[in-house]
Amino acid sequence: MHSPRLVPLLEQFDFACERLTGRLAGPVVDSGDGTPTAVGPMTDEEYFWEPVPGCWSVRRRSAGPGARATALSGHPAGEWGRDSAPYPHPSPPPFTTIAWRLTHLAEMLTLRADHTPSGGRTLTRDDYRVSGDAATAVAAFEQGAAAWRQVLVKADDAALDTVGYCTYPHGSDAEEPFVDIVWWVNQEVLHHGAEIALLRDLFRGRRD
């Protein structure tokens, strides 16, 4: 049984994931006041839409990285990769597409779940297959969120207070108590979810 301290964070995570999945796949999404709002499933055109020049996105490996990116992250044998560059990243930061943001979230959740006692602590970005279409990307996000949630429901007070309970290699996880990482993951889902929702609104507004 998970720690009672985790209850508000778990409820926040569940609601953030539910709203984002509904916003992407439909048929309705909770507008925040309990009123269901109709929404259609995201199309591949929206997934890849670049609203400004020089976006970072998901690309076929055969096409190479986009502007100011130096590599395509993800499984080297996969057909698709996500624009990336080593630290320090380009400044100002490139604008990122829904494809970039959604695959980033799905990868982050999947890898973080693996780098806990519930996983093998072995997965790297080179093991992750980046999704090349909207439906697969939504499913990958749902799978990553489910894997992370399974970690959360097993976390007791001792786990929450353990520094390095999660050893995800692309953050400060190994140096932080697990409860701080849980909070941070919630913020990632919340802020990227809001960005993705806004991009869907802008795409629809462009056509209207």
Cα separation, 114 vs 44, whole angstroms = 29
- For the cut 90, the answer to whether the pLDDT of residue 196 exceeds it is yes
pLDDT digits (tens, 9 = 90+) for 99-127: 999 999 999 999 999 999 999 999 999 99
Predicted model pTM: 0.95
Q: Write the DSSP string, 113-158.
A: HHTSTTS-S---GGG----SSHHHHHHHHHHHHHHHHHHHHT--HH
pLDDT digits (tens, 9 = 90+) for 44-73: 999 999 999 999 999 999 999 999 999 999
Which helix (H) or strand (E) segment holds residue 83: the answer is strand 80-84
